[in-house]
């Protein structure tokens, strides 16, 4: 090792911060690149600096965890090269292309920890592009980051732990929660209890939110699926169904999401191998227990490589940092191997909890075949379920990338972040294949839109010399 290491961490959420902490503890000075203005990721997202709410008000039961992660990063600021407001939009040959305040530059790395997090997993319903429909995480961001509710009369429709958490946060903040529509059946949730007790504290919080909502008279419906949002120019009512039939709720906003999906575009561009994860019902970048990807010196940590939640992200970040130290034969600290084993054990235990969650929170039954032809699936390109079905039939597309080439689903600005899971489910249904078989939309540079003048032709003209010195 004659050349000094240039470790780079992408993402400053719980995984990225814990990874940075380990590298610093071993004498390294990583570059920490984050798209947000302030660290914390989505889960521990910080409000703008002039906001006044306490961390208890912002993060509730998770305030002490949030404080721990946020203050860890605070104390690292002088020991890392922290680059907020910076988007990694491409990676090639030991170099990341980044965009910061409209300028693109290159960042060299020898070792890379990818901790890119997740966004909501969306299953569209008719009318979901109307103003007033937001993702579940988006509804939470509005409140946590901006102090706003997404509307005067809000319905929460979806599944997953966020459903009850965000509904609770809204009601507690004084918003008018019209109903919580959970696609899962209550009996399923009872069945999942033994596995969920594996993370008893997390489970207890979920039970608390549900009980609180019920105690405050908020309608909670299980086995309930949103079928159509109606309104002239914005949300006016939501139609939903359950085994008893169709129902209508007067509302002006809907938050929706069915769990989370990994932000895996960067891992894809880096050439990491992907595997199908039954727990995520999706393809995710492959990693070993410690977070090593299939590409040497590239590590994966947190929800960007399979959804495991914030606690697991902290463990995985720390573990990836320790793996990097091990792989580069840097002097290990005394407790290195015991800590490594301990973290691996925590993560192993979290897998059983994840299985419980996937029993407790299920997608709407037969979502794909119940979705009407006139439902927009790809909101960027305005491609409907009917377009997808017709394209699959007329072209014989068996794979989502082929489907994308044929009908533009997933080809828009978001690169299939919003429509990817839905497009895969529809194609699987049309072609009588599994979700695994239809594959995944491949990530492409730029990972997110960049200004036209910053196109790759300029990239070699502005290589960032600050990094090299």
Q: Are 71 and 79 contacting, i.e. CB atoms less than 8 angstroms apart?
A: no
H or E segment to which residue 87 belongs: strand 86-92
Instruction: Say if residue 276 is exposed, middle or buried (CB neighbours under 10 Å; 0-12, 13-18, 19+).
Output: middle
Structure tokens, 235 = 């949300």
Task: Select 148 or 211, whichever has its Cβ closest to another protein.
Answer: 148
Contacts made by residues 185-194, CB under 8 angstroms, sequence distance 24+? 185/222, 185/223, 185/362, 186/222, 186/223, 188/359, 188/360, 188/362, 189/222, 189/359, 189/360, 189/361, 191/359, 191/360, 192/356, 192/357, 192/359, 192/360, 193/356, 194/356
Question: Closer to another protein at the Cβ: 4 or 452?
Answer: 452
Nearer Cβ to another protein, position 79 or 379?
Answer: 379
Cβ atoms within 10 Å, residue 47: 18
258's CB contacts (< 8 A; 6+ apart) are: 120, 121, 122, 123, 158, 159, 160, 183, 361, 363
List the 133-135 sheet strands across, edge first. 133-135, 253-258, 153-159, 176-182, 220-222
Nearest approach, Cβ of 382 to another protein (angstroms)? 5
Looking at the Cβ atoms of 120 and 314, the one nearer to another protein is 120
Q: What is the rounded CA–CA span in Å between residue 246 and residue 222?
A: 14
In the complex, what is the shortest distance from the CB of residue 141 to another protein, in angstroms, rounded to a whole number? 4
Measured from the CB of residue 51, what is the shortest distance to another protein in angstroms?
5
Q: How many CB atoms lie within 10 A of CB 37?
A: 10
Q: Do strands 245-250 and 282-285 pair parallel, antiparallel, or not at all (unpaired)? A: unpaired
**Residue 131 or residue 194: which is nearer to another protein going by CB?**
131
Please, are residues 463 and 27 in contact by the beta-carbon 8 Å criterion?
no
Q: Which is nearer to another protein, 138 or 456 (CB)?
A: 138
CB of 143 to another protein, least distance (A): 7
Cβ pair 257, 137 in contact under 8 A: yes
Q: Quick one: 139 or 218, whose CB is closer to another protein?
A: 139
Q: Which is nearer to another protein, 1 or 452 (CB)?
A: 452
- C-beta neighbour count of 54 within 10 angstroms: 8
What's the rounded Cα separation, in Å, for the pair 229 and 195? Answer: 35
| Residues engaged in binding another protein (CB under 8 A) | 35-37, 42, 47-53, 102, 119-120, 129-135, 137-139, 141-143, 145-152, 173-175, 233-234, 252-253, 263, 379-382, 412-414, 417-418, 448-449, 451
Min dist. Cβ of residue 425 to another protein (A): 18
Q: Between 87 and 424, whose beta carbon lies closer to another protein? A: 87
Q: Which is nearer to another protein, 148 or 207 (CB)?
A: 148
Q: How far apart are CA 60 and CA 169, in angstroms?
A: 9
| Minimum gap (Å) between residue 198 Cβ and another protein | 29
- C-beta of 307: minimal distance to another protein in Å? 15
Three-state secondary structure call for residue 222: strand
Q: State the nearest-atom distance from the C-beta of 107 to another protein, in Å.
A: 19
Distances (CA, A) of 75 to 43, 48, 62, 71, 315: 20, 19, 20, 6, 19
- Residue 122 beta carbon to another protein: minimum distance, rounded to whole angstroms: 8
Plot region of 382 (φ>0 → left; ψ -120 to 50 → alpha; else → beta): left
The nearest distance, CB 348 to another protein, in angstroms, is: 30
Would you give the distance in Å from CA 309 to the centre of its chain?
9
Q: Which residue has the tokens 């994860």?
A: 277
By beta-carbon proximity to another protein, the closer residue of 69 and 142 is: 142
Q: How many residues does the chain have?
A: 469
- The least distance separating another protein from the CB of residue 48, rounded to whole angstroms, comes to 4
Q: Smallest distance from the beta carbon of 447 to another protein, in angstroms?
A: 11
Cβ distance to another protein smaller for residue 2 or 50: 50
Question: Apex CA 306: angle with CA 321 and CA 181, to 5°?
Answer: 135
């Amino acid at each position: 090792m004659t050349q000094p290491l240039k470790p780079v961490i992408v993402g400053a959420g719980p995984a990225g911060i814990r990874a940075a902490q380990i590298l610093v503890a071993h004498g390294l000075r990583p570059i920490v690149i984050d798209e947000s203005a302030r660290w914390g990721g989505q889960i521990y997202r910080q409000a703008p600096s002039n906001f006044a709410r306490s961390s208890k008000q912002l993060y509730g039961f998770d305030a002490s965890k949030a404080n721990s992660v946020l203050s860890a990063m605070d104390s690292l600021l002088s020991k890392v090269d922290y680059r907020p407001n910076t988007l990694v939009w491409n990676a090639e040959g030991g170099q990341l292309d980044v965009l910061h305040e409209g300028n693109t530059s290159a960042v060299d790395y020898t070792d890379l920890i990818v901790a890119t997090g997740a966004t909501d997993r969306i299953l569209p319903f008719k009318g979901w592009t109307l103003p007033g429909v937001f993702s579940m995480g988006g509804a939470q961001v509005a409140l946590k980051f901006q102090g706003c509710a997404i509307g005067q009369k809000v319905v929460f429709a979806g599944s997953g732990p966020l459903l009850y958490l965000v509904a609770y946060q809204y009601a507690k903040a004084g918003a008018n929660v019209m109903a919580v529509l959970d696609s899962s059946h209550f009996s399923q949730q009872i069945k999942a209890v033994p596995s969920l007790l594996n993370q008893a504290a997390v489970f207890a919080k979920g039970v608390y939110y549900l009980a609180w909502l019920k105690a405050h008279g908020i309608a909670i419906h299980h086995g309930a699926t949103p079928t159509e949002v109606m309104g002239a120019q914005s949300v006016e009512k939501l139609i939903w169904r359950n085994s008893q039939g169709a129902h209508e709720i007067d509302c002006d906003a809907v938050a929706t999401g069915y769990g989370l999906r990994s932000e895996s575009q960067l891992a894809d561009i880096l050439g990491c191998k992907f595997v199908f994860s039954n727990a995520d019902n999706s393809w995710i970048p492959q990693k070993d227990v410690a977070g090593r990807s299939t590409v040497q010196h590239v590590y994966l940590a947190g929800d960007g490589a399979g959804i495991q939640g914030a606690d697991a992200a902290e463990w995985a970040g720390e573990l990836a940092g320790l793996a990097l130290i091990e792989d580069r034969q840097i002097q290990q600290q005394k407790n290195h191997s015991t800590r490594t084993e301990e973290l691996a054990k925590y993560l192993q235990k979290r897998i059983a909890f994840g299985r419980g969650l996937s029993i407790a929170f299920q997608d709407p039954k037969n979502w794909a075949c119940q979705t009407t032809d006139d439902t927009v699936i790809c909101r960027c390109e305005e491609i409907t379920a009917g377009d997808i079905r017709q394209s699959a039939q007329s072209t014989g597309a068996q794979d989502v990338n082929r489907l994308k080439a044929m009908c533009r689903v997933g080809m828009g600005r978001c690169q299939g972040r919003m429509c990817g899971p839905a497009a895969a489910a529809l194609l699987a249904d049309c072609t009588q294949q599994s979700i695994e078989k239809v594959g995944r939309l491949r990530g492409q540079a730029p990972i997110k839109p960049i200004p036209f003048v910053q196109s790759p032709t300029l990239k070699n003209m502005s290589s960032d010399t600050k990094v090299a010195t």
